[in-house]
Amino acid sequence: MEEIASNFIHEIIDEDLAAGVNDTVHTRFPPEPNGYLHIGSAKAIYINYSTAKKYGGLFNLRYDDTNPTKEDTEYVDSIYEDLNWLGAVPTGGVYYGSDYFDKTYELAVQLIKDGKAFVCDLTKEQMTEYRGTLTQPGKESPWRNRSVEENLDLFERMKNGEFPDGSKTLRAKIDMASPNINLRDPAIYRIVRAHHHRQGDKWCIYPMYDFAHPIQDALEGITYSLCSLEFENHRPLYDWVVENCGFNPKPKQREFARLNVTYTVMSKRYLRQLVETSLVDGWDDPRMPTLCGLRRRGYTPSAIFDFIKRAGIAKTDSLVEIELLEHCIREELNTSAPRRICVTEPVKVIIDNYPEDKVEYFPVSNNPTDPEAGTREVPFTKELYIEASDFAEVPPPKFFRLKPGGEVRLMGAYIIKYESVEKNEDGSIKAIHCTADLAVGNGNPTDRKIKGTIHWVSATNCVDLDLKLYDKLFTIPNLNDMPEGATYNDFLNPDSLKTLTGAKAELAVADAKDGDKFQFVRMGYFCKDSKYPGTFNRVVTLKDSYKPAK
């Protein structure tokens, strides 16, 4: 069983278990179905899922579907798919916040009866004005002292649709002078006429998240509500709702720092904008930080979770280098990805002293790091393709690839020597003529040392591919450092995608299934695209100067 490293959340749980505060651990992941999950969501999933797993507890998926204007079943389905792809199976069940609307309404009525909630006629702008500031207390609503009977009547009429959207709210009656602004009589219900993806048109009032969420946690028996740091100031309100709605045992909210990654934006609103304006190829564009985008690019759940663990789980915000994520997948694929040959920018080589109709097979390792992966037979013919960059008519110093007067090893096969070059009318290379050292074969000559080795494919035994080479979506590492007045679009990287058509790969690649990953030797790690046939996406380059912290 995987060992789950301890963190400050586990220390809190250990103390509670020792003191008898709880005897079980039950967590949840509560996404709002208003967009696709991203790598920041993966951190919340990992923390909640792994915590439940470590203590032999349960882990729930609960859709926070209390805002029908932004929600869609497309997002509901994608969230469930992503969660299962990550391996974070909701062992405690799958729930919807909307399943609790009747109970939430009942508890709101009880708060009114207890004199702890009132119907307010202030507009949204007036509520903001009355709320006060961090240094000045708020002032009470003129409607704060309505009678219980009047509040009950008005709240029922809100539910029955007698008032326009936004004309009234139900507010908790707490303390307008509280130093915590979240406790200054927060709205707990608003009027919204919108079709709900599960409830239809049953409701025209919807609970606010800060009211609904602790109720849902308590009803599901959640012991630890683990959420990101922006909810820390909301914790007193969370506790107030749990206490005043009469729940016991009480779920405990604790917060962790969000995952912030360089060259990346986590705002679902902005990611949706990128999709809707066609600046990217959908939510699953491999440049996107969405889990479906990372999956399509070739990232694995294990690499993503490894990245999250290495980035650390703490209470202090930090900016994690995207190179660490790339290092995690590169490290994994180095040991797991089969090697295949693909010439990305092909130029033809003709072996003048090789028979026209001969096909010879050379054994090539499937993965040098894994002897058990064995070898495969790669066909060799008179006409081959090599990388255009592996030939230079006027070579720079220390160029050990194919050049006039030089020899080079074809990986796993013959040594070839340059003889001449054929050119097209425009001056481009039509073919490079060479001769092979047929006597030495794929062995080493005793009379000279061959310094360079290049990859190749048979020109008559290959398959055409399109390659998509992805880079960072933005040009600056910290999008929070944008100049005043700038927008995210100002820093979109125009070179974030380069497409190579007509690459030539060995026939062994032809049978690849969507999502299959390979190391194209010397060129990088690639994944078969699930959207476009004959296309491979570069997951990550072979090497990088990044050195992860020990």
- Is 194 exposed, middle or buried (CB count within 10 Å of its CB: 0-12, 13-18, 19+)? middle
Strand segments (E) across 1-99? 26-29, 58-63, 93-96
The answer to whether 256 and 314 are in contact (CB under 8 A) is yes
In the annotation, is 131 catalytic? Answer: no
Q: What is the 3-state secondary structure (H, E, C) of 441-497?
A: CCCCCCCCCCCCEECCEECCCEEEEEEEEECCCECCCCHHHCCCCCCHHHHECCCCE
Q: Of 32, 81, 321, 360, which is the active-site residue?
A: 32
Give me the catalytic one of 184, 268, 409, 468.
Answer: 268
Whole-number Cα distances in Å, 334 to 258, 529, 546: 29, 20, 16
End-to-end CA distance of the chain: 24
User: In the beta sheet, which residues pair with residue 324?
Assistant: none
Q: Phi, psi at residue 506, to the nearest 5°? A: -60, 155
Q: Are 413 and 456 in contact (CB under 8 A)?
A: yes
Handedness of CA 393, 399, 402, 405 (dihedral sign): positive
**Residue 540: in which H helix or E strand, if any?**
strand 535-540
Q: Are 408 and 437 spatial neighbours (Cβ–Cβ below 8 Å)? A: no
Tokens representing 408?
């080079």
- Nearest Cα residue to 255 out of 236, 240, 242: 236
Catalytic status, residue 258: yes
Catalytic (active site) residue 268: yes
DSSP per position, 278-295:
TSSSSTT-TTSSBHHHHH
Tokens describing residue 334: 């180095």
CB atoms inside a 10 Å sphere around CB 424: 9
The CA-atom distances, in angstroms, between 206 and each of 182, 192, 325 are 19, 7, 39
Closest listed residue to residue 432, CA positions, set 391, 394, 468, 380? 391
CA distance 503 to 464: 6
CA distance 456 to 177: 75
Does residue 251 contact residue 52 with C-beta atoms inside 8 Å? Answer: no
Catalytic residue among 139, 254, 258, 272: 258
User: What residues act catalytically?
Assistant: 32, 258, 268
